[in-house]
Structure 1
């Protein structure tokens, strides 16, 4: 079924995902928890007018980036604005001594990342340039999740590279026109779900999540506060190429995807930590099942709840088949927006924890190309994220040198040392799984070598 282009583009409803973001903004005005920020280090001759023109062109091309949200008759509506220039602030740090620079860079990155977006008037994308030297810059792009997601960020960088390349060499915009825009999708999604999909999928999820435990009780360093603050920190790690390849191989042998194998391992870790046999984990899914939305910037990603029964102390291989079954069924019912699910299940809301799940697992496998900008060498720059939407989020990424991972955690609940240990336990567990996949999940190794020595 094709998504039609709307002729009337006035006062349109929000998509379900946008609506959730809009409600969140009413509850926590100006919160930066749903800001998506990415930065690149650029070495070489940067043509700033061509960069500005490229950003303006992206915002002109994608309506989602120039859509504002206002209230009409008590309901939020989308208002699509005319194209205008994207903010690109330039901070000159050339005169700052080298010793003070890292501090200054970090401060500016945090300040620009956290600055609020005004839903009623701002573009949902902005940029800034830190000029460290004539030949050295850091480019930061910040977008609000209401207009973007992980897949969208890849589109932004790819289009930026294509446009910049053209504009630097005096060529016209090389990008082909988009078939539809995000607002077309938002209106279509509501009609399609209400007409055909919602009830069947809702029936499945109601059955799948019946009598689910409201909270995963992990051992925390401090009691859960009555109101979440979303203060967070992150720790990164990399699995060795050997372990990464062994996990890929095990997945293939068992007819599972790498996502399923890593999820089963993570749920084993959570089972061992919490001693609960009913484990619910949230997982992001790209939700780009229509060709015409593949190239759009916007908030498409949906959240699926993976509920795994860990009872009976199965072997890891048996557990993997359970997870495979759960994930396959979830994918088959992936169109029901998470916000609709929570509303329909009439889940009791708590300010203290996230509904249905408090732990998230993400395997990034959206295609990322290495960016090539003429006359520049480009390297990704990490931005420290001091927010956490969940108790724990484990994010993993396949790279040519091995699987990279990061745990973003709520600092009200966990200390840094606890998370470091958890990462060690996860790595020990993964190594144990590939060595003995037929071992029962309660017996798989968790403790690092040093912890084993301490026990002796």
Structure 2
């Protein structure tokens, strides 16, 4: 699908598969060249008005070693889409190596069904009784008077546009992970809520303010029928948390739990509609409503089981970021689901922070 502009705005045009060209490339490269080629591919832009939002390339590094790179625009897929995409790729490879055309069981619903459901459920903001109007009222009230910028101790004045990113990775040990899970259980909360509380306290100390707003993505796949769909379902929430320095951690956890539950209950309205309704001052130096993101990775990990091949999935750091600071945390658990530690990554805007500053952020947060 492409999305050309028109007088009334962009619209979708479904392109027949036979007419798609240039979406797949092959090349023989050396190991030293591979990283550069992957980074170049990941850093290239999509023009969705004229080209489909999917690209792939197969790089041959040896006679028996290949790297398949797949690049997806967010308009057509989210993080939870990678697992069903990997399953479809496995089915296709199995069929092709057996000399057959791939065949997949038909899905019970399509992405178009989801869009129609969403439109029907949300209703119109002209109707005060509609779900859309009610949720917009909640967000207007919750985010009223929101500070335009969260000032963190950085090293530079932000330029007009900040997209150059870099990632610093670190770990949180198993005992701390288990303690966080137990604390969550005792307070009818989740590990995400414990992390949100800790991150809010950290940001309050770093910024010197008690009005902290953190963005977070939500999967948006409320119906099991959507689990096998590749598409853009994820939504973004702005979690505004008052941090009182006189409160204990558990007192703030109670506040965070209430904040998060209320936000999740009002997560149907798209984030862009919230921004439109609040109409904050726009600036190319910052993201609207919040500049810091917290991501808790708990979706299904993609698995590639290709007959005759040893395969693994690897992400790459394409050195781009939408936010001043993004904390991504993934749980490590054993087969019984016991906590084995947390893997964390701080992605930061290089135009604002240097590596030593962010390493200090990570050290303070883990303490």
* Structure 2 residue 303 is matched with structure 1 residue 370: yes
What is the SS of the residue equivalent to 2:13?
strand
- The aligned runs of 1:253-332 (5 Å cut-off) are 253-332=186-265
Tell me, in whole angstroms, the C-alpha distance in 1 between the residues paired with 2:108 and 2:83: 19
Which among 139, 158, 162 is matched to residue 224 of structure 1? 158
* Structure 2 residue 350 is matched with structure 1 residue 416: no
List gaps (5 residues or longer) in structure 2: 125-129, 334-339
Equivalent in the alignment of 2:14: 80
Q: What TM-score, normalized to structure 1?
A: 0.74
Map Cα deviations across residues 55-96 of structure 1 (whole Å, 9 max, x no partner): xxxxxxxxxxxx110123331111112223673311212xx4
- Any conservation in 2 of the 1:234–1:385 contact (CA below 8 Å)? no
Aligned-pair distance for 1:121? 3.2
Map Cα deviations across residues 124-164 of structure 1 (whole Å, 9 max, x no partner): 11111111111111111100011111111222112212332
Equivalent in the alignment of 2:45: 116
Equivalent in the alignment of 1:147: 76
- Any conservation in 2 of the 1:278–1:311 contact (CA below 8 Å)? no
What is the SS of the residue equivalent to 1:407?
strand
Runs of 4+ in 1 over 4 A off after TM superposition: none
What is the SS of the residue equivalent to 2:263?
helix
- Any conservation in 1 of the 2:76–2:232 contact (CA below 8 Å)? yes
Equivalent in the alignment of 2:185: 252
* Structure 2 residue 105 is matched with structure 1 residue 176: yes
Aligned-pair distance for 1:115? 2.3
Aligned-pair distance for 1:369? 4.5
Equivalent in the alignment of 1:89: 25
**What is the count of residue pairs matched by the alignment?**
354
Tell me, in whole angstroms, the C-alpha distance in 2 between the residues paired with 1:216 and 1:233: 20
- The aligned runs of 1:37-116 (5 Å cut-off) are 67-84=1-18, 87-93=23-29, 96=30, 101-102=31-32, 104-116=33-45
Aligned-pair distance for 1:345? 1.2
Which among 398, 402, 409 is matched to residue 341 of structure 2? 402
Equivalent in the alignment of 2:290: 357
What is the SS of the residue equivalent to 2:259?
helix
Tell me, in whole angstroms, the C-alpha distance in 2 between the residues paired with 1:171 and 1:253: 54
Tell me, in whole angstroms, the C-alpha distance in 2 between the residues paired with 1:369 and 1:150: 10
- Any conservation in 1 of the 2:84–2:302 contact (CA below 8 Å)? no
What is the SS of the residue equivalent to 2:123?
helix
Map Cα deviations across residues 168-212 of structure 1 (whole Å, 9 max, x no partner): 234553521123332333344234322431111111111111111
Tell me, in whole angstroms, the C-alpha distance in 2 between the residues paired with 1:233 and 1:77: 34
Tell me, in whole angstroms, the C-alpha distance in 1 between the residues paired with 2:117 and 2:9: 18
What is the SS of the residue equivalent to 1:72?
coil
- Any conservation in 2 of the 1:221–1:413 contact (CA below 8 Å)? yes
Equivalent in the alignment of 2:336: none
What is the SS of the residue equivalent to 1:145?
coil
What is the SS of the residue equivalent to 2:284?
coil
* Structure 2 residue 63 is matched with structure 1 residue 134: yes
- Any conservation in 2 of the 1:392–1:407 contact (CA below 8 Å)? yes
List gaps (5 residues or longer) in structure 1: 1-66, 429-456
Aligned-pair distance for 1:246? 2.2
Equivalent in the alignment of 2:136: 202
Map Cα deviations across residues 338-380 of structure 1 (whole Å, 9 max, x no partner): 1001111122212221111000000011111533211111223
Kindly report the root-mean-square deviation, in angstroms, between the aligned alpha carbons of the 2 structures: 1.8
What is the SS of the residue equivalent to 2:311?
strand
What is the SS of the residue equivalent to 2:71?
strand
Q: What TM-score, normalized to structure 2?
A: 0.91
Range 321-330 or range 82-91, more displaced:
82-91
